[in-house]
Each structure stands twice: as structure tokens, then as C-alpha cells.
């Protein structure tokens, strides 16, 4: 899928794929990136040139699919080259309201089409097969709106049950993240300045899960800006964030309404597991140690959060984590793939929805767990794989 401009052509990196990937050379690293690598080395972490290698650990340049300031999205690299095809129609500003099924009188119910809304009109479209690729929030939402999901929840909302699948919306996985925040010296960086050029992967001491933590220095110009923390927009801030890659806990997505325009309820349920909280607590204390080592500390003025008192007490730091942790935008697992012996499994190995004909799900919702990395590339692999299944008639 990739063309890796740094490591292309070996066993672990592509050289002829649609997605260009490269790492910023050190000559272009911003001061916070240079300083972060140095403090990680001083803390005893190894330097690794390639964070995408399966044996990688330690501090590494971040591989990015941003070229000349433009993220090479799947719209650019997959969809645009196919727009001219006569067998493809792309409709913008269309809302899918529900999936349409037959009555199931001859066996398993079969998906026949969709009820959709566009321009204030509601109409139906038919299809030989329906494939949901609406993401880990909207795909389970659409299944439940259509009567495929936990029967009790659907009944409470007056939605006729087509197939009782209790796992739809369950097993919500993510990477809980929290950041230490500092007032920084100098002027605010440009909003287009590279936010993350380098990062640290490591195993939290005492954890049995390898490389279960990522730590990254951050400029406060991205989606990681802590919107729940009052800070002065005119001042310069810098942070170091920790993201738990293999959380043990799971959340749940539930419908709040049978209205397809109503946002479903997301209960991330972070830190239900004591081990998740312990690992994040240790990671935040490491973030503080790294930030307050020179040369990183030379860039800072004062710590905004957490306070010294919160850092000194496990109980207070746990409370701080519960108040300030946020999503890494890696929601997954809400229509998980699994064998028939798993009552919470929603799709099989070919991504067919269990007990329903003519319906598949192909997006991050089918992951049994949130992977130990950003979810973008794995989601692409899911799309590539289901394309092969469809072509092979599986």
C-alpha cells in the first residue's frame, strides 16, 4: 500500500504503493523534536531509525504520509484515481438512514438496499451486496438503526429486531491519552508547523505487553490541544503526551434515539482496569522527567498541569488522569471479527455480518482490539483485504 521513501523495497516496507511515506530528516526537526530525542537517550532509551519495523522500540523519527504539507489521504490516493470509472458513482451529502432487509422467511434475512436521505428527500437504493464502511461509530449505529444489534436495546427504542447480535456497539476500544502541559518560551509556532516529528515507543515497567506505550512531544496546534483545560490562546504552550496502546478496558456505543441524525452515546470507560490506570500514571511521571531534563527544559517556562501535589500522590494523579484523559481518535472494535464461538463477534473472517446475508462491514470497527499503533494503515489493509474477498467471490 505504501511507497516508503526511506526504507522502500525490503521485507517490511513497500516501494510501489499509492501512499507515500517519509520521515523528516533531522536537519529539518524543530527544536522540541531535537530536544526530545536527546532527553530520551539520556533517560536510557535506545535510538531506532525505523519505528515501523516490527522489532522497533525506543525513540524514532515518525513516519508520516504528509508530503509538502499535504496529508496524502485515501481520497487523494485511492478515490481520485478511480473517479472516472463507469462502475463507480460517488454521492456527496447523503445520509444513510437504515439498511433494508427482506422478511427472512426463507432463512437468514438478506440486505436488499438502503434507505437514504439527500437534499431533504428520502428514497431507497437497491444493491446485490451492502458494505458498511462508515467507521467505528457510524457502522454499529447503522446496524442498530436497521434492527441488527442487541435485541433488548433495540426493543427499548421501538426498532424491530432483524437479527439479535449482542456484540454490536460493545468492545469499544481506543488509545487513552493524556499530556503534561507547559508554558513555553518564544512565540507560538505557525499552525502548519509539524506537530510530531519524533516519538518514543516502550514497554511500561511491570507490564507484560510489549511496546504498550507511546510518548510524543507536541506543539499545541493540533487536535491534541486540551480543549477541556483553560489556557490563553495568545501564549505559547508545549506538551508531552502519553498514549496507552494496549488498554485492557473496553467501552460501549449505544443508541440514544432511533433518529439517524442523533449522535450515539460513547462510553469510553477509560481506566476501569487498575492496570491501565497504573501504566498511564507511570507514563505521565516519565513525561515530566523527560520534559524537565535539559535540553527540553530549556524550551519551557512553567508546568501548567499536572501540579506537584498531583504528581506526588497516586490517588491525586489517578483523579487527574480521569479528569483530563482524552481520545487518540483511534476508536475501533465495535463490530468485532471473531469465531461463532464468541457471542460478542459481529462479523466472520470475510467480514460478513453473522446471521445476515448480503451485508458486510469493512472499517476499524471489525478489529477485535485496538492495534498497537495508529489505526489508519490497518484500516487500509482491511479495505484491501475485503476487495480481494469480493473479487475472489468469498
Catalytic residues: 330
Distance in angstroms (rounded) separating the CA atoms of residues 320 and 114? 45
C-alpha cell at 269: 470507560
Q: Which residue has the cell 507560538?
A: 188
Query: What are all long-range contacts of 105-112, with beta carbons under 8 Å and residues at least 24 apart?
Result: 107/357, 108/163, 108/355, 108/356, 108/357, 109/162, 109/163, 109/355, 109/356, 109/357, 110/356, 110/357, 110/358, 110/359, 111/356, 111/357, 111/358, 111/359, 112/358
- Give the N- to C-terminal CA distance of the chain in Å, as an integer: 22
Distance in angstroms (rounded) separating the CA atoms of residues 244 and 270? 10
3-state helix, strand, coil in the chain (%, to 5): 25, 25, 50
- Spatial contact of 321 and 271, defined as CB atoms under 8 Å apart: yes
C-alpha cell at 353: 455480518
Instruction: Find, among 1, 2, 7, 3, the residue nearest to 56 by Cα.
Output: 7
Distance in angstroms (rounded) separating the CA atoms of residues 30 and 68? 16
- Spatial contact of 306 and 323, defined as CB atoms under 8 Å apart: no
Distance in angstroms (rounded) separating the CA atoms of residues 152 and 159? 10
Amino acid at each position: 500500500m505504501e511507497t516508503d521513501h526511506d526504507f522502500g523495497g525490503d521485507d517490511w516496507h513497500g516501494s510501489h504503493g499509492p501512499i507515500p511515506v517519509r520521515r523528516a530528516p533531522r536537519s529539518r526537526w524543530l527544536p522540541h523534536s531535537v530536544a526530545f530525542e536527546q532527553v530520551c537517550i539520556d533517560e536510557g532509551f535506545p535510538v531506532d531509525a525505523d519505528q515501523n519495523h516490527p522489532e522497533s522500540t525506543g525513540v524514532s523519527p515518525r513516519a508520516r504520509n504528509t508530503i509538502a504539507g499535504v496529508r496524502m489521504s485515501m481520497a487523494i490516493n485511492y478515490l481520485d484515481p478511480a473517479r472516472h470509472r463507469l462502475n463507480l458513482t460517488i454521492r456527496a451529502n447523503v445520509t444513510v438512514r437504515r439498511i433494508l432487509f427482506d422478511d427472512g422467511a426463507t432463512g437468514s434475512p438478506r440486505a436488499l438496499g438502503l434507505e437514504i436521505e439527500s437534499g431533504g428527500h428520502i428514497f431507497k437504493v437497491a444493491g446485490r451486496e451492502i458494505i458498511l464502511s462508515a467507521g467505528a461509530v457510524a457502522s454499529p449505529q447503522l446496524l442498530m438503526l436497521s434492527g441488527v444489534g442487541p435485541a433488548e436495546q433495540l426493543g427499548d427504542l421501538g426498532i424491530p429486531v432483524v437479527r439479535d447480535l449482542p456484540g454490536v456497539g460493545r468492545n469499544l476500544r481506543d488509545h487513552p491519552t493524556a499530556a503534561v502541559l507547559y508554558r513555553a518560551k518564544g512565540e507560538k509556532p505557525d499552525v502548519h508547523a509539524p506537530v510530531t516529528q519524533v516519538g518514543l515507543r516502550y514497554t511500561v515497567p511491570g507490564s507484560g505487553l510489549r511496546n504498550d506505550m507511546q510518548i510524543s512531544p507536541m506543539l499545541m496546534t493540533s487536535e491534541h490541544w486540551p480543549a477541556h483545560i483553560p489556557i490563553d490562546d495568545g501564549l505559547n504552550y508545549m506538551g508531552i503526551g502519553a498514549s496507552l496502546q494496549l488498554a485492557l478496558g473496553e467501552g460501549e456505543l449505544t443508541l440514544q434515539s432511533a433518529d439517524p441524525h442523533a449522535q450515539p452515546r460513547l462510553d469510553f470507560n477509560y481506566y476501569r482496569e487498575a492496570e491501565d490506570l497504573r501504566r498511564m500514571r507511570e507514563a505521565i511521571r516519565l513525561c515530566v522527567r523527560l520534559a524537565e531534563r535539559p535540553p527540553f527544559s530549556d524550551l519551557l517556562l512553567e508546568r501548567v498541569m499536572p501540579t506537584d501535589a498531583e504528581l506526588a500522590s497516586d490517588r491525586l494523579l489517578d483523579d487527574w488522569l480521569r479528569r483530563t484523559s482524552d481520545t487518540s481518535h483511534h476508536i475501533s472494535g465495535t463490530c468485532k471479527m471473531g469465531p461463532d464461538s464468541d457471542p460478542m463477534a459481529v462479523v466472520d473472517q470475510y467480514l460478513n455480518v453473522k446471521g445476515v446475508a448480503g451485508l458486510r462491514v469493512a472499517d476499524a470497527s471489525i478489529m477485535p482490539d485496538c492495534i498497537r499503533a495508529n489505526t489508519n494503515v490497518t484500516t487500509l489493509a482491511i479495505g484491501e483485504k475485503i476487495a480481494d474477498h469480493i473479487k475472489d467471490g468469498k
